[in-house]
Amino acid sequence: MRYLHSQKIVTALIEHVFADQLTTVDFSLGDPATHYFYLRGQRFRADSWGQAQTKGQKFLAPYRLDNSTAGLDPDSLFKHLA
């Protein structure tokens, strides 16, 4: 199972509570430029948001979002909503 170190509770359980029962292995996510998303019939690269932002544009994923959240990448959207 892949988990992020930012997931504090999961990390604490794995590294402290179950440390003697679980072995962790680093899992590189690689380069987002080589990853693809397929959402609601639209295929695009994972770095599409970053590419649009460097050009001063918004990359619009196929979801109905208001103007304050449209064009945000998934991580930024989660941070904005959480």
> How many structural domains are present in the chain?
2
Q: Is the pTM of this model over 0.85?
A: no
Instruction: Tokens 């991580």: give the residue.
Output: 75
Instruction: Please tell me the distance from the alpha carbon of residue 26 to that of residue 66, in angstroms, as a whole number.
Output: 37
Q: Are residues 48 and 71 in the same domain?
A: yes
Q: Are residues 35 and 74 in the same domain?
A: yes
**pLDDT per residue over 11-60, tens digit each?**
999 999 999 999 888 888 788 778 888 888 888 888 888 888 889 888 88
Asked whether residue 82 carries a pLDDT value surpassing 80, the answer given is no
CA angle 43, 29, 77 (to 5 degrees): 60
Q: Please give the structure tokens belonging to residue 69.
A: 């959240």
**pLDDT per residue over 63-80, tens digit each?**
888 888 888 877 888 888
Exposed, middle or buried, 18 (CB in 10 Å: 0-12/13-18/19+)? exposed
Find the domain containing 26 and state its range. Answer: 1-30
